[in-house]
Structure 1
Amino acid sequence: MTAWRSYIEGSALLENRLNRELQAAHDLSISDYEILVRLAEQPERRLRMSELARDVAHSKSRISHQIRRLERAGLVNRQECPEDGRGVLATLTDRGADALRAAAPTHLAGVRLHLIDLLEPAEKRLLTAVFDRVRTRLIDPPAP
């Protein structure tokens, strides 16, 4: 129980701090930042909305709301998927790429200051191993 509570409190405090730093410096939430990162990593800077929702662990309705806000800000565009017409693609705009480039140093400095620099090399390896295992279990659960 102690480990669970430490994780819950620590991860919430970390996410809140990183979110506040991005909001204050760049008017982006940490969720917005993660969406921009995911799009920037894709060929042609675009991804199906359903894949984007899966990648950032959001519901389809939440991702639609966020993309709508990012679209109003000129950071992303939405368009029909040319391959099937049913899907919708989110595409990072040049303005969105610029916003991401500007926000990245703030986010990376925060991650280092509030987490990475507090850990010994063995703790970093352990943290990676634990959350790789958790992510794998949740993405691809074992058959019952």
Structure 2
Amino acid sequence: MSTDTLDLPPLRDDLFTTEPFALIGSACPQGHVSFPAREFCPRCYTDDVHTVELPHDGTLESFTTVHQAPPGFTVPYQLGFVRLDGPVVLLSRLQFPPGLSPQIGQQVQLAADETTIDGQPHLSFAFVPKEQS
């Protein structure tokens, strides 16, 4: 990923912020949190929702390696269900260094990612192995 990845046009305008880089969800007064952000709560159906910054860290619950994809996508790549520290589970691309395989239960963290759509690079997100301190 190049140093100017954060300057790329976003894949979608409603998925994340860039300063700081964070996923954006929505929450209702009952504590239900959704990703991506929605205009109403999909659990209790209230339209009394507000945007929230989601946690950067999570746990890999499941993953798969994609070997066939639509034109324009380089295969293989990995997708995983990530349970964020909190109530959200989301499907995301995984970016692991060569030779390092994802493991169920592994701690992961949010990272900016570059995705090419119709030959044009866009800012997206992925989860990478969490740096151990």
TM-score bracket, normalised by the shorter chain, equals under 0.3
Task: Report which of the two has the higher share of strand.
Answer: 2
Task: Report which of the two has the higher share of helix.
Answer: 1
Could you state the TM-score of these two structures normalised by the residue count of structure 2? 0.22
Could you state the TM-score of these two structures normalised by the residue count of structure 1? 0.21
Largest Rg, 1 or 2: 1
